[in-house]
A and B are shown apart, each in its own frame.
Chain A
């Protein structure tokens, strides 16, 4: 249904438009998480979301992916208001990595290859040398490819998940507490890696001071509604 589309802007990196929440309200499990929240992230911009656990940081990111729908207000991705007829296409512009990844089981390399066999990803070639470079960048040995996903620690799994999204070369990276389980050198490494992706949009939820120190525009969610 949503497979045979051609998207002319996919080849023009600078054509990416903003991500925006407009007066978004959401009540989840009887708790009001957002009350008329508005925020805009321009193409290539950065946004840090802060707040206690359970304050709705994850929900906010999931809203951008159309996994959670707002009660009121509008969500725009690439300048388009999220709707049933564009969500499947827009999801493919974004990469989402969350804390405590659940990836499944099987060999790491088979998992990665399977991602590249998805109908929508067939245009992207699986390049093993690129995978190896990234594994090295993220301080995972090449041997990781032969391991079973279930053997990996939480932190390793998260880095594999990040590498997969980097291979897919998405426009927007939604990173949900990706550094919280890692030690300091790894935190620094990941923060550096992403801040160097100049033309990508980064939306980060984190408790970590290291993200805070980057001086990104920040919103606080939770407590008495949300503020920028």
Chain B
């Protein structure tokens, strides 16, 4: 199969032309998105171009240390983004969430590269950077859902938590129902999504590989493997980020610290 032809800049501009529709809707119906839409589309373009330049060099040099370093930088951004989108304080949460990503996606990335794909060099850029990016990007949303759900629920249903403590629960026991519900909320969308994959949606990685000239059969196998890897990575990342943050989110009396939330 043939690799996808390049898109000229002029034709790429045509893609931006598509934005007229959402912009018009947003403008006439006063959705209040116009400014934000420009900023977001602008950021997306800029970031991807930068990423493109960066990838050219990462692929050219293909230095294992550099590749791993770049994945860690991506984890840093993923963590930062998760924090910005939740109402939680950076000071308490940044490090534990970062650690959770590091362990969760790091382990799964190694597993994917070594056990599933088994290239000669498992630290090659196309594996570490590309697959690492997919794992991180896709577990980001779930982590935000999970961790926000957990702390918001403890705050909102504070009486339930205190009631359990007063019934003799130790802290882990009183937190278990909240942990359970947060994990459910974080995992549920992906589980639902998995069930429709291939029917309702053709996932991005597969589409990309096929456009790039890969055999559909290979593309599908990669897709199946990456979906399972993403799901496991996000489960570990969510569970660990709650576990790691929980250790310092409460005072010695078992009370949730008020300083956890940004005002």
Contacts and interface: CB of A to CB of B under 8 A. Distances in A.
B159 A100 contact: yes
B166 A104 contact: no
A118 B159 contact: no
Given A67-B253, A67-B255, A88 B170 contact: yes
B165 interface: yes
A65 B162 contact: yes
A62 interface: yes
A67 B163 contact: no
Given A91-B165, A100-B159, A84 B173 contact: no
Interface in A81-113: 84, 87-88, 91-92, 94-98, 100-104
Interface string B245-257: 0000000111100
A161 B177 CA distance: 17
Contacts of A65: 162, 165-166
Given A66-B253, A91-B165, A120 B170 contact: yes
Interface size class of B (residues with CB under 8 A): 10 to 19
Contacts of A120: 168-170
A137 B101 CA distance: 52
Nearest to B173: A118
A69 B170 contact: no
B159 A101 contact: yes
Among the interface residues A95, A118, A120, which one has the most CB atoms of the partner chain B within 10 A? A118
Interface in B129-175: 157-160, 162-163, 165-170, 173
B252 A92 contact: no
Given A96-B163, A102-B159, A104-B160, A69 B253 contact: yes
A94 B166 contact: yes
A102 B157 contact: yes
B170 A3 contact: yes
Contact of A91 (B160, B166, B177): B166
Contacts of B169: 115, 118, 120
B185 to A, nearest CB: 13
Given A67-B253, A87-B253, A168 B167 contact: yes
Contacts of B160: 101-104
A98 B177 CA distance: 20
Interface string B234-263: 000000000000000000111100000000
24 contacts: A2-B170, A65-B166, A67-B253, A69-B253, A88-B170, A91-B166, A91-B168, A94-B166, A96-B162, A96-B166, A97-B163, A98-B163, A101-B159, A102-B160, A103-B160, A104-B177, A115-B168, A115-B169, A118-B168, A118-B169, A119-B173, A121-B167, A121-B168, A165-B167
Given A94-B166, A165-B167, 12 more contacts: A3-B170, A69-B253, A91-B168, A95-B167, A96-B163, A97-B163, A98-B159, A102-B160, A103-B163, A104-B160, A104-B177, A118-B169
